[in-house]
Amino acid sequence: MSYTKVIDYKDIKIVYTNIVDTAGSEAVPTFDKVQKLVAEFPDKSVLSCVNATNARFNTELLSKIKETVKKNNPKAKATVVCGLNKLSTLILNSIIAATGRQMKLFNTEEEGMAWLYEYEMQTTEIAASA
């Protein structure tokens, strides 16, 4: 069952989306929820992690992901996607190119979350020293 929620990871808030083991259209309603959730945040503030381990993509889901990425772009600070196989990585890279969104890809959720944490710490330090 796919879902999205705000989680705390080492005292930072992350919009976490889990589409693990989903098949195509199954995950579409989750991305509708992601759009609503992210809309509540200030611009350039959202740290986001999508766990897509063993997810299977179809045309409907890819279209929804593109829509979500474009709609959430103003709110996004950093996004990681975890658990993609080689084919899914190629597909996501095409979405990244089409939307202009900066995303980092990681093999595991833990790697992605750790990167988000480090990114947040670095950008917070830079902002504090400016």
Q: How many CB atoms lie within 10 A of CB 77?
A: 17
Collapse the DSSP code of 55 into the 3-class scheme (helix H, G, I; strand E, B; otherwise coil) and give the result.
coil
Q: How far apart are CA 19 and CA 97, in angstroms?
A: 22
Q: How far apart are CA 130 and CA 18, in angstroms?
A: 36
State the chain's mean pLDDT as an integer: 91
Q: Are 38 and 49 in contact (CB under 8 A)?
A: no
pLDDT tens readout for residues 72-114:
999 999 999 999 988 888 888 887 787 777 789 999 999 999 9
Share of the chain above pLDDT 90, in %: 74
Q: Tokens 């990871």 — which residue?
A: 9
Tokens of 113: 């979350």
Q: What is the CATH number of domain 3-129?
A: 3.30.750.24
pLDDT tens readout for residues 32-74:
999 999 999 999 999 999 999 999 999 999 999 989 999 999 9
Domain range annotation of the chain: 3-129
